[in-house]
A and B are shown apart, each in its own frame.
Chain A
Amino acid sequence: MTESRKHSGPASGFSRRAFLKGSGAVAAVTALHGQQAVAEQNQEDTTLVRGATTISLNVNGKSHQVKVEPRTTLLEVLRHQLDLTGAKPVSMDGSSGASTVWVAGKTVMASTTLALTCRDKEIRTVESLGGANPDAVPLAFVKHDAEQCGFCTPGFVVAVRAFLDKNPQATEEQIRQGLNGNICRCGTYANIIQAAIDLVKGGGNG
């Protein structure tokens, strides 16, 4: 947690001043309409971005300059500008988990994450588990044939990696409870369960 302060309970009202510390110097923010197109406007307490702007994103250990609008999702940037197409667009609302990536160590859906919120954060995609020395999770997916059409697979691979990082000794029951954020239509769940069990057994969690 980023800050640690003592508060009194709600009945007595905890210190408003503490909550608002450092907020005194807010410059007036322009009204919503009728303003000049300003790409980015920084105040001490706030940042405003209107229209397209170029930002830097740190993806898989590399810094990339990308052009985004406020509405541009992280998924669009990864797929269209960085050719990292492992994360997939499957649902409008992130119900499928197919666009799962790591942002600042957390498994989020790139489809419901705005690119602008990812500045200064470490982003990792499924592609970071591939290359010349693939991670144990994709290898276990191959070994257990935990993929058919493969469209959901990258999202699932990230989910399994993240799950095992947190639960390296997961039991089969925990595996069955812990990987429900992703949808597979071909029905590879039974094979994914076996892959995860094997990873726990084989210590493929490094």
Chain B
Amino acid sequence: MAEVKYSWPSRDDSRVIGQSVDRLDGLAKATGAAKYTYDINPKNLLIAKALGCPHAHCRIKSIDTSAAEKTRGVVHVEILKEAGSEIEFQGELIAVVAAESEGAAIEGRAALKVQYDVLDTFTSDEDLAAAEQAGRTSKAGGKAQTEREPGDDDDEDEFIEKEIDRLLKESAHVVEGYYGVDAITHCCLEPHGSTVEWKDGKLEAWLSTQNVSGTDDGFARDLELTADDVNVYCEYIGGGFGSKFAPDYWGISAARIARATGRPVKFMLDRDQELKIAGNRPSGYIKVRIGADENGVVKVWDSVHWGTAGFTGGGVSHTVIPYVLVPKNYRRNATAIKTNNSQARAWRAPNHPQACAMSQTAFDDLAAKMGKDSYDVFLANLKAGNVDSQQQPAVYIAEMEIGAKLIDWKAKWHPHGKGQPRGSIVDGLGMALHTWGGVANDSTCQLKIYPDGGVESFCGTQDLGTGTRTVCAMVLAETFGLKVNQVKVNIGSSKFPNSGASGGSTTVGAVTESHRRASQDALAKIFDLASQELQADAGSLEAVDGMIRVKGSPNQAITWKKACARLGMKPLEVSASHKRGDASPLSSSGVGGIQMAHVEVDKETGVVKIKKFVAVQDQGLVINPKTCKSQIYGAVIMGIAFALHEQRINDPQTGAFINAELADYKLPRLGDVGEIVVELYEPEDQRSRGVIGNGEPPVISPGAAISNAVCNALGVRVPVLPLTPQRVLEAITKQASRA
């Protein structure tokens, strides 16, 4: 057998790849047949509900479980935090009640008697001075870079200080800005949790996870088992967004309770617990000065930013400040604030959305100050090479041209605050650009070709909603010349070969790597078998339309089934892997993307509405344009959410996460998203780079793009996202009182 050269077919030769294919599990999801972790109901199931700490900071004095244990229907009570424990954020789970029904579990939970010593809280993450005064801050790194090097005798800090001052003084235009974005949560609609059951000493765990292949280890470690003793299943997951990589201590608790009671246990977080403890994105606030030349090319950037990733500190990394548009001279410093909130988790494109919203707003304010079109200022900086990105400036420029046409930028743009009002409504345009890696994760595909022509793959990956099953099937169908419904894809079980966690836009690259490799390897073997019958060299064969045929002589062919029949009695089994980071012709990393927003603002009420939103996105080779576009639509809508609606609100007095129910945790609705236009940027020079994930990149820019559009409409910067009516009105009032 000749050595297989892994590759994708050219655009012209592709029959499945690049076609818009309906997702294979779409109907199961749309008719309620798809079973999520929350839907798994083994016989004799116990429902577990946990008591979340009502205080943001306290010490547990005592826990009395006796009344809970006596509550009718309650079977088991487990304490998670012993008396004496310090609790540093609201919602931390203290004890669990497992009962015959949800109602009984909730009643039992209410009967838990816990006494607390309430301690001081701090949650004012926007207020740096207050945080410093409260001793809650720590340095979180920084970097300075200047074109001129300090001399040997210079104190480096002093030199940088002087150099920054000099560059600012020499700048034709200087902007001082303040920007920020509040902490938000992941708010998965299926909350974190599991349904677990012990069978013959082994743990069967249905876990809502983005990490099927990695969480068996997680359970095993904490329960003192081996990974072989644990099977994790996740056929469907109701949202993850970066927050569902581990079993979490409540998953382990479920397993313990199931072991203690000898019964299956379902332990899903309540909605408020999901928001309070199961994932949030750090806040970020920045003070920045930038200096630019007469063309709007930024020469110097000087910023300090701060924020919180929860009770252990942390915040937005300084490494992505300023974002994508990076001048040659800059100084950036970050401060982390410890607040009484749960620890942040990776939220779709960690650090980037905040960095974009804290940086590209300043570039837009520069345009405003100069009275120039923001598009031209962004373009000037791209052309001047003020770029630190995983994508080429030329690609951004090409994407900007496409975006500008789609949103009719040149016709609709007006100088900041100078639009023609319609009653109290003003409109405005804004843009932003972003970058992301999207490298393919580890993945192994086990492939079985049956003598009857059946094709089945097994891969321990999961489908977060990206359409993972569908792209796997498309790759197999493409390779074998079959239809998508002629192959079967099995995912969502830790029994299947290892595939990496779905995080960081690494899944589609990963699974298409492993499936393409395995299928090309298998096809080579099928070609060997077919070549005997066709009396042709295996290297001259191709698989097309259910046939194996000789290239150039379509009549010299046998059916796929007939070729597979030559396997004899046993199926052909092939396994192939991709290792993250290995160079490959099938995948790569590094994308760009630009977005433009057209908004309307009611100046009297501060209400902002999205009129139109354009996203132009590159992601190398697109396997399934339909699901690929859906990722972008969804990302834009998630971006509209944090730009206009959602925020974690900590009550300043109690530290409580006071809006942790969906009635108060505001998310956009169907009527809030305006017209969204998505354009996949896939010229040959991008397509030839292979597959690159796109789950993260399109969620990065909406914050900055919408903030810039609102600023363009009003002529006033509303500094901190989300741009609520309160904040819009306050910004207008502040501006008016200044004038």
What residues of chain A have their CB less than 8 Å away from a CB belonging to chain B? 69, 71-72, 76, 79-80, 83-93, 95-96, 98, 125-127, 129-131, 134, 137-139, 141-143, 145-154, 157, 176-177, 179-180, 182-193
Contacts and interface: CB of A to CB of B under 8 A. Distances in A.
Interface of B is mostly: loop
What are the nearest 3 A-B pairs in CB distance? A86-B32, A130-B31, A187-B637
Interface of B: 22-23, 25-27, 29-36, 38-39, 41, 45, 101-103, 187-190, 236-241, 268, 270-272, 464-467, 626-627, 629-631, 633-638, 641, 661-663, 667-673, 676
Contacts of B464: 148-149
Contacts of A71: 103
A146 B676 CA distance: 14
B663 A91 contact: yes
A69 B103 contact: yes
Contacts of B669: 180, 182-183, 189
B101 A88 contact: no
Contacts of B39: 79, 85
16 contacts: A69-B101, A69-B103, A85-B32, A85-B41, A92-B270, A130-B32, A138-B31, A145-B23, A150-B29, A184-B637, A184-B670, A185-B638, A187-B637, A187-B673, A189-B669, A193-B670
A93 B636 contact: no
A183 B391 CA distance: 34
Contact of B465 (A149, A182, A190): A149
A187 B643 CA distance: 14
B662 A148 contact: no
A178 B341 CA distance: 37
B31 A147 contact: no
Contacts of A180: 669-671
Contact of A183 (B27, B189, B465, B629): B189
B27 A83 contact: no
A80 B31 CA distance: 18
B32 A125 contact: yes
Contact of A93 (B637, B638, B661): B661
Contacts of A190: 633, 636-637, 673, 676
A88 B38 contact: yes
A153 B630 contact: no
A96 B189 CA distance: 9
A149 B190 contact: yes
A164 to B, nearest CB: 14
Given A151-B190, A185-B638, 18 more contacts: A76-B102, A86-B31, A93-B661, A125-B32, A130-B31, A143-B22, A148-B630, A149-B236, A150-B238, A150-B465, A151-B238, A157-B31, A183-B662, A187-B636, A188-B630, A188-B633, A189-B633, A192-B670
Given A185-B189, A190-B673, A150 B34 contact: yes
Given A126-B32, A150-B236, A134 B27 contact: yes
B673 A189 contact: yes
A137 B464 CA distance: 23
A142 B630 contact: no
Contact of A134 (B31, B34, B45, B239): B31
A154 B36 CA distance: 12
Nearest to B630: A145
A93 to B, nearest CB: 6
B441 to A, nearest CB: 19
Contact of B630 (A76, A177, A185, A191): A191
A147 B464 CA distance: 11
B103 A138 contact: no
Contacts of A90: 189-190, 271, 662
B674 to A, nearest CB: 9
A123 to B, nearest CB: 14
A125 B630 CA distance: 26
B446 to A, nearest CB: 26
Contacts of A84: 32
A123 B661 CA distance: 28
Contacts of B31: 86, 126-127, 129-131, 134, 138, 154, 157
Contacts of A125: 32
A188 B634 contact: yes
Contacts of A137: 30
**A84, A85, A129, A152: most-surrounded residue (chain B CB, <10 A):** A85
B611 to A, nearest CB: 12
B22 A142 contact: yes
Contacts of A191: 630, 633
B670 A147 contact: no
A185 B188 CA distance: 7
A88 B41 contact: no
B190 A88 contact: yes
